[in-house]
Structure 1
Amino acid sequence: MTITQQYFLDTYRARQLGEPAPPAPGANDWQVARELRGHRQFRAVVAGRPARGRTRQAIGRWPRPWRRSTC
């Protein structure tokens, strides 16, 4: 059964029982992503690491072949 079929079945059951319809699939994806980011930042602070910019700092440490050395 696909997620769409499950959603329609849940919507049908909710309508039969007079309950509110469930949220559509994918309706809360951005909210989940924001909460996950917040949780990761929280875990970083608790572990004593900087909470912001860790990915950008890691990318900044990669060697860049297009930069020429000035030596």
Structure 2
Amino acid sequence: MARPRKDQEGEGARDRIERAFWELLEEMPLRSISVRMLSQRAGVNHNTFYYHFESIDDLALRQIGNNMPGE
């Protein structure tokens, strides 16, 4: 697979997807968020989403895990 490119500001698609996830989570419950919504908000193709994450649940679990305080 080709390596994802970064946009001109240096923010990659994965970062934009993660930011879009948190923005949408502020607006609606997790069960209402779709890959299509996330992709549109992040300005990426839905295939790009699946390049980085298996599902919305995968994204959510990774984000929660990455943002938990260390033990």
Q: TM-score, normalised by structure 1?
A: 0.30
Q: Based on CA coordinates, which of the two structures has the bigger radius of gyration? A: 1
**Larger helix percent:** 2
Higher RCO (Cα < 8 Å, 6 or more apart) = 2
